[in-house]
Structure 1
């Protein structure tokens, strides 16, 4: 070796550099996609926050990768291959974070910003019924070709239910703002609701019609705000046309023909680009909301003594309301429907409805209804009460009709579908139940507060709780003395629903509780997947276990593993539990609908005295129960909203109820346009674009050096990844792209949840998996029957439409409450599923794994090496 030179290179001239070995360029992109727990990028990459960096994206959707110094430090460690976060040199690892798409709120900067962010999350949570109803548009037998017989009628009924749900929200706000605040809180030129601040006192000098006009701006702001929010989210989320160059074919047959007959719906480009359809549907909701508000204003003013002009205006607005409902019914939104271009009619209808509202407002302001808005002498049926009963009755009719959406196809095929083919009815029932709970809470809480805290029973307005006629405050108290209680009333359905629903939901929870406490064991099913180890066969007669041995580890964590397996088996009973809750919701709505019609009649004077006495007398326990039930619902609502609204943190269990939110918002808004935005409308194009970015630079390289992609998807991320693969199947270069893409999933719900809930989207015929039987509610192992069932009939059609990837491997473990086998519960003939280690020994202390950290198991590294075509990593 020559001696080192003492020459100092001159400034600006480069000195001699030693030839460094050329770094190995990564050939495989391992793209990790998190799931419903919104795993933070550092956790998903299994590194510290300082060891990762943002490589693309924004706060809604972003891609992260380990920093070069972190990679170098990990690879130079003597035990590199066994360290968490280690990345082989031939792999580029990235994490895609899409949690901001479903939990997007203003940045919580400072106390004021934190308050605004919290209120925004609560606001999003209140739209949960809309998202649940939207799921009903996708869970019935959808055609995958150009045969659309009966399709538009059934889809139209779901859209009609969606607009009725919007009108329920608007009617609730109108009852509080117009009926309670503008009308009932004033009488005889005085303010009866003394809890209101001083500025409201000055409005007592206004005519009732002018107060109604003023307070009607509140529901207008609500419906217009929802419409604007829907438009803003479309601009930020619906990016498929920009990311994937999506097109809208003229007919569904054209799209199916381009991809082959019966192509999966997720493979159609327009599935992820429906901005125009959602916009037209939202205009129909806006028109219906404005028309309903005009009808309620004009009708109530007319009933309370207004002139015929305002009644005529109400009839005209009623015609616009009916037209809006029909328009929503016929607006095509599903990708297999013949979607009409334009949307001028919906825009015109929204303009006419706005004009009708402005005209009604003008009539109220100028005083055409000379005595409109006088609440004295009201009967049991007010316009608000009749409107609410009509809306709920129509929604019950739609639910009843949805039972016939899924007619039997081939004998026992319905046993492989959720709730025996009644998924639309279940989702619509849940949406109505949750919507009525929220509406009842808002209305009754506002009424109680304005009523001086008299309780929910005092708001019924007739019968035992309001037998005395209302008294005008200033008529008996002309001086400055304290006014009596205002004796406000709200539509009786709100008060009755809280009491009846609490009884039925309590009974449902008792049944569920009894089922959950019974012993559960999955040992027999798991034994078919795992070979016994010496540690498993250790007995008390064996020699003492050495410290740190596998036997000692199993002895310490074995009981914990058994408990976690039993807990996971209990939490797998989602389908039967949801059916019980939905059934309780329907019975509660039916009972309260009937009570709301009967109560005023049985409390009226024409009814025989003995009947009226039995109905209205000795009803103290009924009144007490109504009061207590609404308080209980308030506490439940606060807990649920807190679970949905608390900000997500690094931990996987920061927002457990956000799981419900994420599951409800992964489908495009074809049934309800005003719900929370569909995060997959942006997440799927982003993942697809990232895949193309990685593969295209090497598209012309020799096959041995071509880049590849392994999508490593966890939980709900598997749905996003599969949708991205299907969306790429319509790409012009698909024939060359598919052999270079692999899929590695872990902790997924594809087969028992999505395959049964949405069979046309992610069912057995689409993914090539075996059909899944329902979990047994009372069995020790809920999936024992499914594992033991003969599935020869299912296997015959399992490979009709395989996953668009070169190969698919899926990991699961019995301790995972949200993870299942993706292909079958049986080990025989299963080329996709692998049982993952349940005890994690990669850290300082061992722990029993649950739903997360599959990437620390031996099976994950083996599957990744196999899919990426690399050897198991060795220390550098």
Structure 2
């Protein structure tokens, strides 16, 4: 069960203690203005990721909003709210909760590495001592991402602009002479331009403060933890900025003041690391006050140290050392990148250590997903940071003469390029290797469904078989993840080489005999690849908001990532589940007070929201609730990727809470959804009648037939992940569950 789940006696309530209001300010009604009836059932539909218009969800037009707001609300048909099966239709539309305005969506693109690092901590294994270590490593990795963000911005502001363009190198016009700074003392230039990374920290702080509007007690009581994490990350960011300035200042000779400030900055940074590394210190209720006070005090001290450091650096009139680059910056950047890769390798080794290669399904359930998602976060953050410094330097002309880009960033760009190439090759090889097994399994499934195939249906038969084979690639995510996790070693090796001061061109020429231009081509290719990734993310952020088709296919990943509350990185996008789940629970409670029962119908990710909402319902409400899921990823994806929170034990608890009034419809052609407890394919052994979980899953043959039916021009379509609320099988399941609800009442 998710952390922070309320007791059975807790009553769901809205954020202000009152019932949610309808769009016109009145209490939501149970029908079209009539008094609530006692002999009806409400069919509450919840869509999946990417959103949908209420008219599409309900297959009715026009519709009206009866509760909620523009971001997430409940809708009913405007004229007739009852469908042919005699249930009252209602839909919950939550699709705008993860996105919102274009500006917010685009700003979230820059938070993608933070979001991935936050998702990783929710993928930790369960029931094993490794879980606490995985949590600790994920949080330290998240802190390192913030540090790397500040280091890269400082590289542009301090190393490129303050030191090179206005001093040693002379950048291209007009960057070689900046108003009010040209001709100033080095310390004054550094102190003035240090305001840029401070502004970048403030920008993250501002984004991290914004959160979605909660309703009542959120399913995860995470906001106090987010406050502590936010203070820790801001303090660490300011401490690292102080270190960059003070290390550069000490290159000309140490003083008592700089030594003291440097020592205090290191203490602040170590305190931040210690707060995250101490098992359970910032999580446990017993240590909550201590962690809160320590984090807050550390943040205040870090802010004061930054002010003093800026003053000391600006007023220090001593001569600075003559060097092409900012003294000490390359070593600090290399240390941040090396620490990042070391943590990633430790995380990967931890989840792979204990029988981690024992199959795709088991591997993911052991928490390997945490290492894989963390690898994506680290790779993207490192690549973007290195690309920012590298490309800005090229644009400004700051790398002319003896001062090239810092070696750690050159190695990071090269590692990003190698990772991208290796990932493409790995995916291609695994696709080819698994193709025969997937096609063999798909052929067996299709032949069981259609033992006799007319000659005119052979093409349709092959199409069905190919669709099932493609959908089964999801089963190979485990081996793909395990293999990709090993690639973290590439980043560690390149970080060590960069830390050792080895030049990539020289080393490749010595080891492989490659010409000097080969590495430069790789670096250039990496920068173009990064630019393409960034452009894709930015355009995706715009189109995901403006274009429903694009959002349906690309915005899915964003919706899944923003589902999880911020437990590792405080600057990740806020979770919409903090509002959606309790809002659903509140509405279900209201409906059971006005109607005989509520049939919860969840498609795709909507089934996850409903499962969590069921866990929040008090006993008196659960007695009048049934659950219908379809295209559900509850077991196929969530139980594997997030084993500590949505495992078989939790899924069985959901079934028990609704007294097993639960049906799950699934298709073999669906690449996302699947069965929850048993496949029930043709030829499978019958379910155990003593186990109610064996009665939950209902497999739908897809397509229903290979040839057109009487009076039809075309064959039934392949439904795949399509919701299909109007399909005969769906309506039959609605009637069955409605009868169970009425019988229970």
TM-score category of the 2 structures, normalised to the smaller one? 0.7 to 0.9
CA distance in 2, matches of 1:150, 1:714: 34
Q: Retained in 2: the 8 A contact 1:603–1:615?
A: no
What is the match of residue 568 of structure 2?
Answer: 671
Of residues 93, 116, 122 in structure 2, which corresponds to 1:97?
A: 93
Q: Does 1:685 align with 2:604?
A: no
Structure 2 counterpart of 1:512, from 402, 427, 431:
427
Q: Aligned pair count?
A: 687
| Aligned-pair CA distance for 1:632 | 2.8
Aligned equivalents of 2:247 and 2:703: distance in 1?
Answer: 67
Aligned residue in 1 for 2:672: 818
Q: 1:284 offset after TM fit, Å?
A: 0.9
User: TM-score, normalization: structure 1?
Assistant: 0.71
**Residue number in structure 1 paired with 2:113:** 129
Show the counterpart of 1:626: 523
Aligned to 1:56: 67
1:708 is aligned to 2:719:
no
Match of 1:761 among 642, 645, 651: 645
Distance in 1 between residues matched to 2:51 and 2:629, nearest whole Å: 16
| Counterpart-to-counterpart distance in 2, 1:507 and 1:99 | 35
The answer to whether structure 1 residue 726 and structure 2 residue 582 are counterparts is: no
Instruction: Point out where structure 2 has 5 or more consecutive residues left out of the alignment.
Output: 1-33, 688-693
Structure 2 residue 706 is matched with structure 1 residue 836: no
The answer to whether the aligner puts 1:350 opposite 2:350 as a matched pair is no
Change (3 A) 1:412 1:864: same
From 282, 299, 323, the equivalent of 1:376 is 323
| Counterpart position of 1:224 | 202
- The residue number in structure 2 matching 1:590 is 492
> Once the 2 structures are TM-superposed, how far is the Cα of residue 527 of structure 1 from its aligned partner?
4.8
Residue 686 of structure 1 and its aligned partner are, at CA, apart by: 0.9
- The Cα of 1:25 is off from its aligned counterpart by 6.9
User: 1:338 Cα shift?
Assistant: 4.5
1:45 matched to which residue of 2? 58
Equivalent residue number for residue 247 of structure 2: 299
Is the Cα–Cα contact under 8 Å of residues 185 and 192 in structure 1 kept in the other structure? yes
Per-residue deviation, residues 377-400 of structure 1 (Å, max 9, x unmatched):
559xx5232222222333334334
Q: How far is the alpha carbon of 1:806 from its aligned partner?
A: 3.9
- Displacement, 1:498? 2.1
Of 394, 399, 406, the match for 2:339:
394
Distance of 2:625 and 2:444 partners within structure 1? 32
Q: Contact 2:360 / 2:477 at 8 angstroms: preserved in 1?
A: no
What pairs with 1:558-569 in structure 2 (closer than 5 Å)? 558-569=461-472
2:276 alignment partner, one of 291, 305, 328: 328
CA distance in 2, matches of 1:178, 1:56: 52
Q: Contact between 2:162 and 2:186, CA under 8 Å: does it hold in 1? A: yes
Q: 1:97 to 1:529 in 2, by over 3 A?
A: farther
Any idea what SS the aligned residue of 1:760 has?
A: coil
Q: 1:808 aligns with which of 644, 659, 662?
A: 662
Q: Secondary structure at the match of 1:709?
A: strand
The 8 Å contact of residues 369 and 641 in structure 2, kept in 1 or not, is answered as: yes
Give the root-mean-square deviation of aligned CA atoms. Answer: 3.8
Aligned partner of residue 422 in structure 1, secondary structure: helix
**1:288 aligned partner:** 236
CA distance in structure 2 between the aligned counterparts of 1:640 and 1:360, rounded to whole angstroms: 37
d(CA) in 2 for partners of 1:538, 1:616 = 59
Cα distance change, pair 825–203 in 1 and its aligned pair in 2 (3 A): same
Q: Give the drift of 1:358.
A: 0.3
In structure 2, relative to structure 1, the CA distance for the partners of 1:810 and 1:801 (3 Å cut) is closer
- 2:47 counterpart residue number: 34
Q: Equivalents in 2 of 1:871, 1:767: separation in Å?
A: 20
Tell me by how many angstroms 1:665 deviates: 2.5
Give the aligned partner of residue 145 of structure 2: 165
Partner of 2:296: helix, strand, or coil? helix
Shift of 1:312: 3.3
Does residue 1:741 correspond to 2:625, yes or no? yes
Structure 2 distance, partners of 1:417, 1:161, is: 22
Q: 2:263 aligns with which of 305, 311, 315?
A: 315
| Aligned residue in 1 for 2:383 | 437
Distance 1:602 1:864 in 2: 64
In structure 2, relative to structure 1, the CA distance for the partners of 1:417 and 1:832 (3 Å cut) is farther
- Distance, in Å, in 2 between the alignment partners of 1:556 and 1:66 is 41
Q: 1:776-797, CA deviations, whole angstroms, 9 ceiling, x for partnerless residues?
A: xxxxxxxxxxxxxxxxxxxxxx
- Unmatched runs of 5 consecutive residues or more in structure 1: 1-20, 73-85, 106-116, 247-269, 453-458, 460-484, 541-551, 605-609, 698-705, 769-798
**Alignment match, 2:19:** none
Q: How much has 1:710 moved relative to structure 2?
A: 1.4
Q: Find the counterpart in structure 2 of residue 470 from structure 1.
A: none
Determine helix, strand or coil for the equivalent of 1:37: coil
1:736-777: CA deviation from partner (whole Å, max 9, x where unpaired): 222211111111222122112222211122213xxxxxxxxx
Distance 2:60 2:350 in 1: 52
The question of 1:340 aligning with 2:288 is answered yes
Contact kept, 8 Å, 2:335 with 2:499, in 1: the verdict is: no
